[in-house]
Chain A
Amino acid sequence: MATSDRIRTLVTDNEIVVFMKGEPAAPKCGFSAGVVKVMEAIGRPYLGVDVLEDPFLREGLKAYSDWPTFPQVYVRGQFIGGCDIVREMYASGELQALFAAPAAGA
């Protein structure tokens, strides 16, 4: 499967995907740790993917989302931003609002 197809499958099969450095239990970058904290606060199941384990995925994601850094957060197939944007969205309540309605198909 092409990397872009793998990414599309990951982000459409999971409501929330965090592509990060390290695993959620052991982030290897402060910005990734920041997103994990926000996700814990949201309390919604999410898939954490360690891009350091997969250089093809890491480079593929940069092109797929047209975004040069990690973490990258996807909600229902849509790239919503990196650590700063996700933190801002949490602070403003926008992120919580995304999950206020029941997930489609849930």
Chain B
Amino acid sequence: MAMDADAIKARIEAALPDAEVLMIDLAGDGDHWAARVTSAAFAGQSRIAQHKLVYAAIGADMGAALHALALQTFTPPTH
């Protein structure tokens, strides 16, 4: 069981509509993903809180169908 990049991206974008999501296939097997997520929703939040927002967007499949997701979170440049 796995989740594909589009499904992961769609869930993040549904929860964080301004998010820019870049998915990277770490192992080339469609099952080990890294995501770079940029959203204004992360502003002023701790890194743990930022990652929790993304995990919450993915929902119950996080840690199950999607066994791991390397995550980097950013806020958009403010200039």
Contact = CB atoms under 8 A, between A and B. Distances in A.
Interface of A: 29-31, 62, 66-69, 79-85, 88
Interface string B41-79: 000000110011001000000110001111110000000
Contact of B68 (A29, A66, A81, A85): A29
B71 A67 contact: no
A21 to B, nearest CB: 9
Contact of A84 (B32, B62, B67, B72): B72
**Main DSSP-derived SS at the B contact region:** mixed
6 contacts: A31-B70, A68-B62, A69-B68, A82-B51, A83-B70, A85-B48
A62 B48 CA distance: 14
A85 B51 contact: yes
B51 to A, nearest CB: 7
A67 B68 CA distance: 12
A80 B68 CA distance: 17
B65 to A, nearest CB: 11
A81 B62 contact: no
Contacts of A68: 55, 62-63
A83 B26 CA distance: 15
Interface string B5-47: 0000000000000000000000000001000000000000001
Nearest to B63: A68
Contacts of B69: 69
